[in-house]
Amino acid sequence: MITIMSQVRVNGIRGVQVTDFLLNCTDREYQAWWPGTHLAFHTVEHHPSHVGNSVYMDEFVGQRRIKMMGIVTQVVPGKRIVWQMKKVVRLPVRLVLELEDDAAGATITHTIRAGFKGLGRLLDLFLRIYFSDEFARAMDEHAQTEFPRLRDVLDTRV
């Protein structure tokens, strides 16, 4: 199992604002969050509970452009969203966003978990090519930059 985790503290936001934003985001709002880096993020298929939503995402992480579908597999408003990545078929890759509020703001934990179960674990070697140490560093830098920027977008959101 490959785990890439970043934790970011952001004053002036609440977890429910973040989950609401990400579950209802438009491309325009996503692009305003980080112009030139965040290219697209929108719901393709919507379900009332949000679980089962298909979301298209397109962004740069470091020099790597990532275009992916994500299927929402879990939602706890204000606390947690889990997306399973999909390229034609669902992949053994999950993006987990966990939020913990305090009096001044929220701590956001962004975790990518990738890996197969059982004998499929042998294929994790191939996943390590994609989820390299270089990618992990770029992903941490990305998270450390993007989440403090989100506060400004949330402040202007109607």
The domain spans of the chain are 2-156
Residue 24 has pLDDT above 70, yes or no: yes
Which of 11, 6, 5 minimizes the C-alpha distance to 150?
11
Contact 44, 56 (CB under 8 A): yes
Residue 39 has pLDDT above 80, yes or no: yes
Residue 41 has pLDDT above 70, yes or no: yes
The dihedral built from the CA positions of residue 31, 132, 76 and 106, taken in this order, carries a sign that is: negative
CATH 3.30.530.20 fits 2-156, yes or no: yes
- Please report which confidence band the pLDDT of residue 155 belongs to, taking 50, 70 and 90 as the band edges: confident
- Please report which confidence band the pLDDT of residue 129 belongs to, taking 50, 70 and 90 as the band edges: confident
